[in-house]
Amino acid sequence: MAFPLRGWAVWLWIEQNPQGSDVDAFGIRALEIQGGVIFALMMGCVFSVDLYADRLAERLGEPYGTLVLTLSATIIEVSLLLQVMVSGDHNPSLMRDTVYATLMVVLNGIVGISLTAGGWRHIEQAFDLRGALAYFHIIAPLSLFVLVLPNFTGTDGKPTLEPSQEAFLGILCIVVYGVFLRLQMGRHRSHFGHIAATEWVSPRKDSKTLKVERKRSLMWPMMGLGGALLPIVLLSEYLAQIFDHGIQILKWPAGFGGLLITSLVLAPEGLGALRAALSNRMQRSINICLGSALSTIALTVPTILIASALMGHSLVLGVKATDMTLLSATLLVVLVTFVSGKANLLQGIVHLMIFVAYLFFMFKP
């Protein structure tokens, strides 16, 4: 709880000193240092989220544990995007850059590192093909609808959607994700992990006592998860200002803002997926990776579409030709990787190759 408590302290200090926006928590008059302190504290809170979400995952089992982790990351991502939209200059392509960066980081970076690390230690790892393809069946069309289709709609030649098209896309994402969760938690739960064995009940413990103990075992991780998430949400306003400042001063590429947000958001998932792969739990690693990509498209996109409509902001959704090529290559390689039902070192290297290409062409378009 150290980092969440420090995050709360920094937020309270900033709120009590509204006139000293150029002074950090230690009294140093430098925006960069203040930003570094806030970013470090937020990263600590992010890893606290991973810790408590992992504890919940152990108690809840799959796929509920993975769902807790992915929804926590979605809350962080939406908070950062909304704060950037409200407090910073209007950046119509920020959501597009963030969603595209999430797909590249998750499907290539995190998947590549997890497959490489797991393949190096365990040579070859098995997973349930049905669960992986269930994720991919939704990720592939929705990602193309959000990032590619806007390039070919409308008559003005801009990669945007009309309000009615945005409404249709948002409703489609929510409905499809709702159906997916219903099936994942119900009749197809076995596709996403092994169902936990029935817990042995001591003769001295009746079912009522065991139920109370389970509630207690969930209470503290849930409280810790909420305590780690709130400082991230509260401090995201100030981190958004830092992002704007850094991109303008350093003249970074426009897509770099989305990569920064994605890196902060996906830190818990990346750590959780890597740990699962090293522990020979490739099914959980895949659930984390593909679940993160799906929740970003199915939850973040509709939320930002609604917020932009209420604020009267227009959004640029279609990616450029280079990015369309990388996205198409990513979806093809993901399909080839997961259709085999086995994970190995070579597959991880191919995913990392595409991720490196994504970083290179960001700075050298």
Per the model's pLDDT, the better-predicted residue between 177 and 62 turns out to be: 177
Specify the number of domains making up the chain. 1
Looking at every residue in the chain, the average pLDDT score rounds to 78
State pTM to two decimals. 0.80
Asked whether the bond before 141 is cis by omega within 30 degrees of 0, the reply is no
In a domain, 140, yes or no: yes
How would residue 245 be classed by pLDDT, with cut points 50, 70 and 90?
low
Residue 138 in contact with residue 180, Cβ under 8 Å? yes
**84, pLDDT greater than 60:** yes
The structure tokens listed for 60 are: 């809840």
Residue 314 in contact with residue 160, Cβ under 8 Å? yes
In a domain, 188, yes or no: yes
In a domain, 199, yes or no: no
Per the model's pLDDT, the better-predicted residue between 228 and 170 turns out to be: 170
Q: What is the per-residue pLDDT for 352?
A: 96
What CA–CA distance (Å, rounded) separates 365 from 356? 13
Give residue 312's domain range. 2-194+205-363
Assign residue 280 the CATH number of its domain.
Answer: 1.20.1420.30
In a domain, 240, yes or no: yes
Residue 39 in contact with residue 232, Cβ under 8 Å? no
What CA–CA distance (Å, rounded) separates 314 from 248? 21
- Summarize pLDDT for 270-329 with one digit per residue, the tens: 888 898 899 998 888 888 899 889 998 999 999 999 988 888 888 889 999 999 999 999
- Summarize pLDDT for 50-77 with one digit per residue, the tens: 777 777 767 776 667 777 777 877 877 8
